[in-house]
Amino acid sequence: MKNFIFLLSVMAFSISGIAQTSISGTVLEKETDQPLPGVSVLVKGTTKGTTTDFDGRYALDDIANDAVLQFSYLGFKTLEVAVTGQNTINASLETDAEQMDEVVVTAY
């Protein structure tokens, strides 16, 4: 009986350590509060990710509670946010003037 109780307690702690959650939110431009479509939202250190829709919304499933989300978009500073058990993470990205100097547009 003691072995059974010990086994149950070990399993309970193991499951809570790898708990996963679904995360959703909206990504806005910080200066204008306008939604940003096409922002890359990645789970740092993995290949799991998505992009924001036309209204700046995104959703990710099965994300570890200790994960870090990276929000990146051309012309904006990359933002990293720790999940820490949250279900909704809204992000505001700042423009990056230095990065914009490196963009070349060619029209024909």
Q: Look at residues 80, 88, 66 and name the one whose alpha carbon lies nearest to residue 17.
A: 66
Q: CA-to-CA distance for 39 and 28, rounded, in angstroms?
A: 10
**pLDDT band per the 50, 70, 90 thresholds, residue 50:** very high
- Tallying the residues shown for the chain, one arrives at 108
CATH-assigned architecture of domain 20-96: Sandwich (2.60)
Which residues, in sequence order, are CB contacts of 35 under 8 Å at separation 6+? Answer: 26, 27, 28, 29, 52, 54, 55, 56, 57
- pTM score of the predicted model: 0.73
pLDDT value, residue 46:
92
Mean pLDDT of 37-51: 95
% of the chain residues with pLDDT over 70 = 75
pLDDT by residue (tens digit) across 63-83? 998 999 999 999 899 999 999
